[in-house]
């Protein structure tokens, strides 16, 4: 019955997504363009890290790129990729619920993990349809399964099933979002040691080794060195150290303090109930919960669902009082309920996202990529075709101007000794990219050549006749990714990320072996041709 329930939930999600026939995006359009760049390049035979730079692992893109290579349009491939991941996780979801959970806890947890894989929103409370951070949700889904397996003792012991789940789950985290792998690995290893799970450990090791060998056979030995090099390069770049709130805020800030107190209370109550090993494991997983929340944009503490499941699954079977006279079983239930209440807005938003999307009208949306095959992907016209920008100006008072200059996060850039306007593109990204691509196509000598855009994205090839930048970064994090192989450098008048333009222009200025000459300029950009090194 439990398996049938999970299949039914997945079928509902599939019907809501694929029944629409088109993916309508009205938030985080830049993230969608980032995904499109990578999956189109992969579908064309390129390998992440080897052919272009990214800190995100290959498995975060493989499901979507595989569907595109089969002939699906970009929109259906994105939605189908999420469904494919949920389908592949279905046996693991069933096993975790069947072997360790019971009643409503198992059913709600299983449904939530499926929704995590398939929802058209990152979480939080914003109801706009978005593909953004889908791989973070996939990683959360896998991580929560691993945590439940590690912490909750099995009532249906099967070292083979546990070992395969742990081994393959860790490989997935390592090859999708490495921060999840680093954060959760210590707790999983400690759980295996505390439980003396030798058979599970060996089976997990074999499963992981087989998966790694398979990836190596498909992508080559050099893939691993390239992946490590990308991670090292991007970790040294300071352009995007963390995408949301600071770590101290996530620990004691007013929006997170209650959640962290629930986590501490859960650890204490587990130990008071006689679950010393489980309390220790939750203590080890606590920094992992906070760290991956800190690393994910939006800082959505999805671990609260995992905490509630753990506490409900590990409640004592009988009444048991602690030194304060509290009923520990009841206290654990209260902490679990508070955890659910704290994360309820995000859970409801995730659960209703695809229903909202199915009810959306395509009126006012435009096709993003050219070609009839890609008519199944559209973005909101008023956001993407109506450019607006934000500019800065200085106050007259020298003292105030000096203080402002010290505090500002973006500044005037210098090109050929001349300052560029201090400006930031606020909306209309796709419209600007399409116009830039058309301007390039009208210029002789640019067709079939590569262009480095001095901004977050270098994706003009998606809208015109240029080609992807070899070795470039679909999302610029810093460094010189692809710079030495670019035929042209396009400097936008109003970049999406001024810090990215600053970083690229600074890197160009530091290269003494690089000759640049101006080809043209207009209201949108300055185009430079790279001379011989």
- What is the per-residue burial (b if ≥16 Cβ within 10 Å, else e) of 99-128? bbbeeebbbbbbbbbbbbbbbbbbbeeeee
Contact 490, 470 (CB under 8 A): no
SS3 of residue 200 by DSSP: helix
**Stated pTM of the model:** 0.93
Cβ neighbourhood burial of 477 (10 Å; 0-12, 13-18, 19+) = buried
In the prediction, which pLDDT does 386 show? Answer: 77
Residue 189, Cβ density class (10 Å: 0-12 exposed, 13-18 middle, ≥19 buried): middle
Tokens 């520990």 correspond to 328
Average pLDDT over residues 440-451: 93
Give the lowest-confidence range in 64-68, 401-405, 527-531. Answer: 401-405
338: helix, strand or coil: helix
Structure letter (DSSP) for residue 44: T
pLDDT in tens, 333-388: 999 999 999 999 999 999 999 999 999 998 999 999 888 888 999 999 888 887 78
Contact predicate 454/383, CB 8 Å: no
pLDDT band at 404 (very low <50, low <70, confident <90, very high): low
Report the run of H or E that residue 424 belongs to, with start and end: strand 423-427
- Cα 187 to chain centroid, rounded: 22
Report, as an integer, the average pLDDT of 55-75.
Answer: 95
Burial call 194-212: b when 16+ CB within 10 Å, e when fewer: ebebeebbebbeebbeebe
Instruction: Output the pLDDT for position 157.
Output: 87
Q: Across residues 11-38, what is the average pLDDT? A: 93
- Cβ-proximal residues to 309 (8 Å cutoff; 6+ apart), any chain: 101, 105, 109, 144, 148, 336
pLDDT at 405: 63
Task: Inform me whether the pLDDT recorded for 314 exceeds 60.
Answer: yes
With residue 358 as reference, give the H or E element that holds it: helix 328-359
CB atoms within 10 A of CB 394: 14
The single residue listed with the structure tokens 């939080």 is 124
β-strands 451-453, 414-415: how paired?
unpaired
Report yes or no: 428 and 388 within 8 Å, Cβ to Cβ. yes
Q: What is the pLDDT of residue 485?
A: 85
Query: How confident is the model at residue 238, as a pLDDT?
Result: 60
Q: How confident is the model at residue 255 (pLDDT cuts 50, 70, 90)?
A: confident
What does the pLDDT read at residue 435? Answer: 93
Query: Tell me, what's the pLDDT at 506?
Result: 85
pLDDT band at 297 (very low <50, low <70, confident <90, very high): confident
Supply the pLDDT for residue 249: 85
| DSSP three-state, residue 25 | strand
Q: Where are the domains of the chain?
A: 2-359, 387-530
Instruction: Give the pLDDT confidence of 218-242 residue by residue, as tens digits.
Output: 999 999 999 999 898 887 766 556 6
Give 197's contacts (C-beta < 8 A, 6+ positions apart). Answer: 159, 162, 191
Q: How confident is the model at residue 294 (pLDDT cuts 50, 70, 90)?
A: very high
Higher pLDDT, 152 or 513: 152
Say if residues 525 and 492 touch (Cβ distance below 8 Å).
yes
DSSP state of 354: H
For the chain, the first-to-last Cα distance in angstroms comes to 67
Closest Cα partner for 234 from 411, 473, 501? 473
Q: What is the pLDDT of residue 317?
A: 85
What is the overall mean pLDDT for the chain?
90
* 301 band by pLDDT with thresholds 50, 70 and 90: very high
166: which 2 tokens? 């742990």
The pLDDT confidence band at residue 120, using thresholds 50, 70 and 90, is very high
Q: Distances in Å between the alpha carbon of 227 and those of 52, 142, 354, 443, 487?
A: 10, 21, 34, 36, 25
As given in the structure block, the two tokens for residue 95 are: 């096993």
**What's residue 241's pLDDT?**
60
Looking at the predicted structure, is the pLDDT value of residue 471 above 70?
yes
Greater confidence, 270 or 409? 270
In percent, the amount of the chain with pLDDT more than 70 equals 95
pLDDT in tens, 154-204: 998 899 999 999 999 999 999 999 999 999 999 999 999 999 999 999 999
Mean pLDDT of 118-128: 90
């Amino acid at each position: 019955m439990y398996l049938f329930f999970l299949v039914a939930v997945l079928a509902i999600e599939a019907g809501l997504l694929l029944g629409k026939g088109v993916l309508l995006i009205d938030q985080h359009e830049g993230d969608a363009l980032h995904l499109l760049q990578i999956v189109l390049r992969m579908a064309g035979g390129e390998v992440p890290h080897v052919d272009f730079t990214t800190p995100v692992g290959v498995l975060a893109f493989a499901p979507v790129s595989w569907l595109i290579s089969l002939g699906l349009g970009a929109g259906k491939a994105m939605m189908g990729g999420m469904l494919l991941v949920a389908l592949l996780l279905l046996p693991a979801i069933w096993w975790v619920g069947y072997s360790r959970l019971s009643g409503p806890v198992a059913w709600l947890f299983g449904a939530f993990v499926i929704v995590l894989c398939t929802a058209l929103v990152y979480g939080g409370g914003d109801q706009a349809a978005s593909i953004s951070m889908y791989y973070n949700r996939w990683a959360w889904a896998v991580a929560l399964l691993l945590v439940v397996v590690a912490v909750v003792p099995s009532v249906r012991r099967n070292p083979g099933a546990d070992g395969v789940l742990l081994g393959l789950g860790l490989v997935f985290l390592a090859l999708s979002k490495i921060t999840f792998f680093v954060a959760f690995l210590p707790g999983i290893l400690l759980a295996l040691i505390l439980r003396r799970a030798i058979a599970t450990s060996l089976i997990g090791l074999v499963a992981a080794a087989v998966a790694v060998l398979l990836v190596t056979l498909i992508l080559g030995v050099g893939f691993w060195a390239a992946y490590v090099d990308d991670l090292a390069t991007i970790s040294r770049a300071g352009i995007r150290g963390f995408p949301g709130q600071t770590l101290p805020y996530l620990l004691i800030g007013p929006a997170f303090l209650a959640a962290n107190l629930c986590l501490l209370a859960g650890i204490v109550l587990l130990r008071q109930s006689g679950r010393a090993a489980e309390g220790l494991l939750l203590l080890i997983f606590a920094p992992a919960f906070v760290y991956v929340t800190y690393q994910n944009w939006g800082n959505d503490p999805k671990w609260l669902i995992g905490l509630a499941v753990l506490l409900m699954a590990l409640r004592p079977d009988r009444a048991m009082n602690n030194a304060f006279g509290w009923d520990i079983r009841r206290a654990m239930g209260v902490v679990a309920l508070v955890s659910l209440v704290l994360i309820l807005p995000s859970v409801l938003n995730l659960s209703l996202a695809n229903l909202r999307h199915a009810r959306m009208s395509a009126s006012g949306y435009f096709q993003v990529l050219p070609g009839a095959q890609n008519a199944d992907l559209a973005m909101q016209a008023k956001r993407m075709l109506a450019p607006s920008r934000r500019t800065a100006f200085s106050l007259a008072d020298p003292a105030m101007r000096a203080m402002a200059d010290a505090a500002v996060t973006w500044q005037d850039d210098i090109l050929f000794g001349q300052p560029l306007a201090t400006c930031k593109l606020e909306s209309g990204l796709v419209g600007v990219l399409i116009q830039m691509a058309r301007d390039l196509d009208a210029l002789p000598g640019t067709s079939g050549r590569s262009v480095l855009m001095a901004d977050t994205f270098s994706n003009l090839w998606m809208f015109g006749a240029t080609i992807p930048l070899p070795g470039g970064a679909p999302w610029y994090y810093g460094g010189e990714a692809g710079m030495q192989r670019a035929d042209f450098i396009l400097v936008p008048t109003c970049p999406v990320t001024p810090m990215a333009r600053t970083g690229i222009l600074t890197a160009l200025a530091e290269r003494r072996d690089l000759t640049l000459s101006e080809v043209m300029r207009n209201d949108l950009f300055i185009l430079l041709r790279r001379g011989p090194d």
